[in-house]
Amino acid sequence: MWGTPQSTQTSRTSRVRTSRMMAVTGTVIRAVITMGLVQTHASGAQAITTHPRETPVAAAPVAPTTEPSVVHSFARYTRPGECAAARVWHERQFWRDQRPDTLSYSRTGLPEQRRTVEAVRSCLSRFSVATTAPWDLLGLGQAYLAAEQETDADAAFAALSRRAATDSVQGHAWTLYQIIDAYLGAAQPHLAKADVYVQQLDALGSPAAVERILAHDTLAKLARARDSVPMWEDELHAALTAAAALTGERQKEYGSAVATFYAGLAELKQRQGDFVGMATLLRIAGNKASGMPTEVSQPITAAAGEVGLLGKPAPLVQATVWVDSSSRSNRAAVGTVRPVPGHPTLLVFTDPSCSDNCYVQHAIVRRLAAKYGSRGLNITYLVHTSGYYRNQLVPPDSEMVKIIGYYLNELKLPVTVAVWNTTFSGTRDDGRVLAQPGPNEIAYAGGGTFLIDGTGNVRLSMTLARETEAIVEDVIASLL
């Protein structure tokens, strides 16, 4: 939607940068509060199998804009960091009414709206590197990136780096990480420029271990979203190398991060089809996560349960009712088989009560179906009844009709819907009836998203999300 809303699409995501720490999931919590929107094109990008820093991806052309010129003078803004905030405001104003299932991420990112760029440039017209206080250089550089004035951004960060070199090792390291984070947090991440500062940060050695962990973790997540396998692996190993330098309380503090790095390497092994290596790394991750908070240990435990399915024949899906998008008004014949023999099959466990996260899944499913459906990819949604629909109690038959209508008639998804009629027996302590787990949830380790190859073996198991879309797409392409 670069000035032509009918032809292109974008996405939004908030980046919150707060304090010098890492969440227990291993996700970097950014250091400077700068929430922004990453906008991308719906058409996606080709797989990146070489190291992105070695082969930078060129920016996609921007469509002509028909938006009105920016007239805001930003006279009340007294610090350049506020100009970066202008970017956030403009993007949110433009995209706030967009539904998640109409939006998408590109692997490499695309520029902001032209109106946003013009607004930030207008705001920056009163600032320069020479007249900006040292403590405002980071915000100035971020604003220049938002304004697509890369030369000025480079100058601001270089000046900040020179000043930080006279600081303590910890102060210097933290500043370098902030610069790296700014380059990587741009609408189109600047990998090669960030790498210059990553090398400087690594050269500081053990005293900068925490900042090195944060930097390499950020790069690993970016590589994962792009499915850039060499970079993904390099950065996870670099993060573990940095973590090995931690001692004492710092070692305990970042123990959960270390566990997630091993879990990340395990996921990479899955991406490469090495399920034995994946199981080994998950055992290491599980040992590291032992005694950690549930939010750290649970995903690793769940992944360990799913690894038993990988590389093995997929259990047959069981359903009370089957309906295909090509014949929405008619039930498919009893005995429909999933996974489809001879074709790759994507099984997606879902729930009609799910909103935001599932809208993202629906958007990904639409793109995958459009690109690979004609080449033989089958996508099947697995759903079970629960006794109610949209918080209203309904009979099972009515609920199944409503579920099918939601996915095929309302959302118009190009999928097969397999509905299992849940049985209820026994009671809880409070007297309520217990729902019995369905056969599909039992067979598929609780659910999720599974990709099965044409021979009927499970090839991939992971959450279907924007961060994993490139991985799923590339593995599908390899199976066709």
What are the tens digits of pLDDT across the range 177-186? 999 999 999 9
Residue 283 clears pLDDT 90, i.e. is over it: no
Q: Between these two residues, 211 and 42, which has the higher pLDDT value?
A: 211
Q: Mean pLDDT, to the nearest integer, of 71-91? A: 79
Q: Where do the H-state alpha helices sit in 373-458? A: 396-404, 439-443
Residue 278 clears pLDDT 80, i.e. is over it: yes
Question: Of 221, 253, 285, which residue sits at a domain end?
Answer: 253
CA 388 – CA 357 distance, rounded (Å): 20
Residue 408 clears pLDDT 60, i.e. is over it: yes
Both 235 and 327 in one domain: the answer is: no
Q: Mean pLDDT, to the nearest integer, of 107-119? A: 82
Both 197 and 334 in one domain: the answer is: no
Residue type at 105 in one-letter notation: Y
Kindly state whether residue 343 falls inside one of the protein's structural domains: yes
Domain that holds residue 183: 21-253
Which of 27-36, 134-143, 252-261, 341-350 is predicted least confidently? 27-36
Tell me the C-alpha to C-alpha distance, in Å, between residue 381 and each of 115, 288, 394, 449.
40, 35, 21, 9
Residue type at 376 in one-letter notation: G
pTM of the model: 0.79
CA 9 – CA 275 distance, rounded (Å): 36
Query: Residues 110, 57: contact at Cβ < 8 Å?
Result: no
pLDDT at residue number 156: 96
Q: How far is CA 372 from the centre of its chain?
A: 21
- Band of pLDDT at residue 327, cut at 50, 70 and 90: low
Give 407: exposed, middle or buried? Use CB within 10 Å, 0-12, 13-18, 19+: buried
pLDDT at residue number 9: 35
Instruction: Dig out the tokens for 124 from the structure.
Output: 């920056």
Residue 316 clears pLDDT 90, i.e. is over it: yes
Kindly state whether residue 90 falls inside one of the protein's structural domains: yes
Residues paired with residue 435 on neighbouring β-strands, in sequence order: 424
Both 237 and 355 in one domain: the answer is: no
pLDDT at residue number 142: 94
- Band of pLDDT at residue 458, cut at 50, 70 and 90: very high
Instruction: Give, as one character, the DSSP assignment of residue 135.
Output: G
Q: Between these two residues, 457 and 290, which has the higher pLDDT value?
A: 457
Kindly state whether residue 14 falls inside one of the protein's structural domains: no
Kindly state whether residue 307 falls inside one of the protein's structural domains: no
Both 453 and 352 in one domain: the answer is: yes
Phi/psi class of residue 201: alpha, beta or left (left: φ > 0; alpha: ψ in -120 to 50)?
alpha
Both 426 and 328 in one domain: the answer is: yes
Instruction: Dig out the tokens for 442 from the structure.
Output: 């039992």
What's the angle, vertex CA 464, arms to CA 33 and CA 303, rounded to 5? 95
Q: Mean pLDDT, to the nearest integer, of 88-116? A: 76
Q: Residue 398 contacts by C-beta under 8 Å, 6 or more apart in sequence?
A: 389
Kindly state whether residue 197 falls inside one of the protein's structural domains: yes
Which of 94-108, 377-391, 399-413, 445-459 is predicted least confidently? 94-108
CA 52 – CA 183 distance, rounded (Å): 14
Q: Where do the H-state alpha helices sit in 165-293? A: 169-184, 191-203, 209-226, 229-243, 248-253, 255-271, 275-289
pLDDT at residue number 12: 29
Instruction: Dig out the tokens for 289 from the structure.
Output: 């996560």
User: How much of the chain exceeds pLDDT 70, in percent?
Assistant: 80
Instruction: Dig out the tokens for 12 from the structure.
Output: 């939004």
Kindly state whether residue 431 falls inside one of the protein's structural domains: yes
